[in-house]
Structure formats: structure tokens, C-alpha cells
């Protein structure tokens, strides 16, 4: 975090102010029950970029059940970290939509044009958004856009529902499961209509038939990469059950690439960027899926339907 921004933040709020904010947030999330025997302390505050993290500690002697801790006469404590953007922190403390930047305090009108987009995993499939931010396309329309990486698509949905971000970049499978769960989404853009991946396999796998009884790495079951993998296998005439394929949940794309290189899995649908290292090491590509021209709608930018209704002009500018 720029030193001047941290200085402004520290000078505006006392320790009591930080304490009240953390206590209010933890209480609202039911992380800290309202008990007279509990004490909340802010042990440290960290900042980096536009994000702030508070290290908190709750201590006391439980006089009734506290979480999974039985009543006792022994002091106990729980530590945790609460993190948020400066924008959200300032709204909580001051009630005003001020935003701290290296240049100073921005106006509420400017802060309302923040566009934070969460995405799961780590690959070049989010390149259109990164390129738009880097080249200043959003700023031309008065929008301060930023990308926030989380572990999975499900976590990105959680950040949207909790209104920590304005939008999410998610695969169709995540969209469908989210809507099926009762969350009302509206998708406003989807720039990718193909599967830009290679089906990369170990060196000894030379034909489709050699995939029998092999282990295929995915990020999660029913996730975006899983759906793409199943579509690829179907295009190649591979029935996972008849071929005896074992789908193994490994992690996001970089972790899957490492698992393939170290021999923990035998095959994976990998992005072009992550395919380079294994292909140079002698691994094979059984198919360049983008060339197969399969009808497929890639990740989309989705927002809460309520937010789209309330800020139609803003999201029209984003689109």
C-alpha cells in the first residue's frame, strides 16, 4: 500500500474506530457472539495496495457454550484475520463512499464507479478483462475496474452474494449451479465462444485408445474445467466409464500442470500458456480443442439481477 494512503487512513481513524468496525463486522457474520465475558482486541493492521487486513483476537473465560468450546474456568482465545478493501473499510467507518488513492481522497461519485470482478483459478482465459484494464478501456467510460482472484468459481459467487465485488467471471457450469441454488444472476458479456485448450497427455500416450484406465486431472467436479474436459472427451469419442478413466480433483490450472509434469496424472485439458512447458518436455497434445470448432460459451461476466436493475446505466457502460 502506498505510504501516503496508509498515513491518511491511520490519521483519520483512532484505534477505537478500527475496533468498532472489526467488532461490527464479526458480529454481523456471527463470528463473535455477544457475550459479556469476551474481549476483542485488534493486535495488528496490515495494508497492501488497496487492501487492509486486521489481526484480531477474542479472549475470555467461557461461561456457556462458545462455538464448539464447552464452558470451563480456563481462559481461552481465538485469533483470526479480517480483510477488506479500503473503499469498504471507509464506508463502514465514516458512512461515506470515500476511497483512498496515492493521489488522495476521491469523491463519492468517483467511488461509485468502482467495478471489481472476481474470478476463480489462474489462467489466460481471463485475458480479455486484463487487457481491457491494462489498456484503459474501462477508464474511458469513467470506470475503475480491477480483477480479484479467488480459488474457485464457487468462491467468486460467494464474494458476489456478499457484495464484496460488483461482478464475477465464471464458467457456465457455475452459473447454472448458482441459479439452481436460488441466486438471481444476469450475465452481461461473454467474449469467449470456444475452448482454448490442448488435451495434453504423458509421453507414452500416443492415441485416443491409450487413454484407457488413465487419470485425468480437473479442478473440481461439476466446475468449468470439468465441463470442458467432458466436452473434449465426448468430441474425441471417449466414454469415461467405458474407458475406465479416473477423474481426480487436483486444483487450479497451474497445480494441474505441475501434477502432469510430476506424473501424478496422465492427462489434462490445459490452456495454451500452461501447455508450453510440458509440450517442450516431450508430452503430447492429442487435440487442439479450439480447432475442433465445438459450440461452446466460455466464461461470462455476471452480476446480481438486483444490482443490474438498480444500476442499469453503469452496467451498460461496462458492457
Q: What is the pLDDT of residue 95?
A: 43
Q: What is the pLDDT of residue 106?
A: 38
CA separation for the pair 318, 312 (Å, rounded): 10
CA separation for the pair 146, 288 (Å, rounded): 31
Q: What is the pLDDT of residue 14?
A: 43
Q: What is the pLDDT of residues 40-73, one digit of tens each?
A: 676 676 666 666 676 767 677 766 555 555 666 6
Q: What is the pLDDT of residue 83?
A: 63
Q: What is the pLDDT of residue 111?
A: 43
**In the chain, domain spans:** 3-101, 113-193+298-318, 197-292
pLDDT at position 194 over 80? yes
CATH of the structural domain 113-193+298-318, one choice from 3.40.50.1100, 3.30.930.10, 3.40.50.740, 3.40.190.10: 3.40.190.10
Using DSSP's 3-state secondary structure scheme, residue 145 falls into strand
β-strand partners of 8: none
- What superfamily in CATH does domain 197-292 come from? Periplasmic binding protein-like II (3.40.190.10)
Strands 215-218 and 246-249: parallel
Q: What is the pLDDT of residue 128?
A: 81
Looking at per-residue pLDDT, the higher value among 236 and 191 belongs to: 236
Q: What is the pLDDT of residues 95-147, one digit of tens each?
A: 433 333 333 333 344 444 789 999 886 667 777 888 888 888 888 888 888 88
Looking at per-residue pLDDT, the higher value among 155 and 236 belongs to: 236
CA separation for the pair 220, 214 (Å, rounded): 18
Least confident of 22-26, 110-114, 124-128, 233-237: 22-26
Residue 242, H or E segment: helix 240-243
DSSP 45: E
Q: What is the pLDDT of residue 119?
A: 87
DSSP 165: S
Looking at per-residue pLDDT, the higher value among 239 and 313 belongs to: 239
Of 75, 64, 72, 105, give the one whose Cα is nearest residue 87: 105
Average pLDDT, the chain: 76
Cβ contact 227:171 at 8 Å: yes
Cβ contact 65:72 at 8 Å: no
Q: What is the pLDDT of residues 174-192, one digit of tens each?
A: 888 889 889 999 998 888 8
User: 113-193+298-318 with 197-292: one CATH topology?
Assistant: yes
- All cell numbers assigned to 171: 464458467
pLDDT at position 89 over 60? no
CA separation for the pair 187, 167 (Å, rounded): 9
Q: Give the residue ranges of DSSP H helices in 135-218.
A: 153-161, 172-180
Cβ contact 201:283 at 8 Å: yes
Q: What is the pLDDT of residue 213?
A: 96
Q: What is the pLDDT of residue 65?
A: 55
- All cell numbers assigned to 173: 457450469
pLDDT at position 36 over 90? no
Q: What is the pLDDT of residue 227?
A: 87
Cβ contact 183:170 at 8 Å: no
CA separation for the pair 18, 22 (Å, rounded): 6
Alpha carbon separation from 177 to 82, 164, 191, 194, 218 (Å, rounded)? 28, 20, 21, 21, 18
Q: What is the pLDDT of residue 201?
A: 96
Sheet (strand 284-288) strand order:
246-249, 215-218, 267-271, 197-201, 284-288
pLDDT at position 237 over 60? yes
Q: What percent of the chain has pLDDT over 70?
A: 66
Q: What is the pLDDT of residue 49?
A: 60
Q: What is the pLDDT of residues 251-307, one digit of tens each?
A: 888 899 999 999 999 999 998 889 999 999 999 999 999 888 777 888 889 999 999
Amino acid at each position: 500500500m502506498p505510504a501516503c494512503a496508509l498515513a491518511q487512513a491511520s490519521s483519520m481513524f483512532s484505534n477505537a474506530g478500527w475496533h468498532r468496525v472489526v467488532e461490527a463486522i464479526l458480529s454481523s457474520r456471527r463470528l463473535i457472539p455477544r457475550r459479556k465475558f469476551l474481549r476483542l482486541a485488534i493486535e495488528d493492521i496490515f495494508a497492501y495496495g488497496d487492501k487492509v487486513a486486521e489481526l484480531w483476537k477474542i479472549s475470555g473465560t467461557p461461561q456457556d457454550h462458545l462455538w464448539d468450546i464447552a464452558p470451563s474456568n480456563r481462559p481461552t482465545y481465538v485469533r483470526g484475520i479480517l480483510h477488506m478493501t479500503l473503499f469498504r473499510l471507509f464506508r463502514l467507518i465514516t458512512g461515506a463512499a470515500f476511497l483512498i488513492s496515492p493521489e488522495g481522497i476521491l469523491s463519492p461519485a468517483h467511488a461509485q464507479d468502482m467495478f471489481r470482478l472476481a474470478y476463480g483459478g489462474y489462467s489466460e482465459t481471463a485475458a480479455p478483462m486484463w487487457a481491457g484494464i491494462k489498456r484503459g478501456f474501462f477508464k474511458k467510460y469513467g470506470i475503475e475496474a480491477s480483477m480479484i482472484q479467488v480459488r474457485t468459481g464457487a468462491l467468486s459467487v460467494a464474494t458476489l452474494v456478499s457484495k464484496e465485488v460488483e461482478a464475477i467471471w465464471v464458467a457456465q457450469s457455475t452459473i447454472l449451479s448458482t441459479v439452481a441454488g436460488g441466486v438471481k444472476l444476469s450475465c452481461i458479456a461473454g467474449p469467449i465462444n470456444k475452448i482454448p485448450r490442448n488435451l495434453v497427455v504423458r509421453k507414452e500416450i500416443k492415441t485416443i485408445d491409450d487413454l484407457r484406465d488413465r487419470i485425468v486431472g480437473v479442478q473440481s467436479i461439476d466446475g468449468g474445467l470439468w465441463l470442458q474436459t467432458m466436452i473434449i472427451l465426448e468430441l474425441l469419442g471417449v466414454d469415461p466409464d467405458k474407458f475406465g478413466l479416473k477423474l481426480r480433483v487436483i486444483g487450479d490450472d497451474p497445480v494441474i500442470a505441475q501434477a502432469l509434469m510430476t506424473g501424478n496424472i496422465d492427462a489434462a485439458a490445459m490452456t495454451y500458456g500452461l501447455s508450453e512447458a510440458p509440450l517442450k518436455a516431450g508430452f503430447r497434445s492429442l487435440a487442439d480443442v479450439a480447432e475442433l470448432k465445438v459450440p461452446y460459451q466460455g466464461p461470462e461476466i455476471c452480476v446480481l439481477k438486483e444490482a443490474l436493475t438498480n444500476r442499469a446505466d453503469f452496467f451498460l457502460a461496462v458492457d
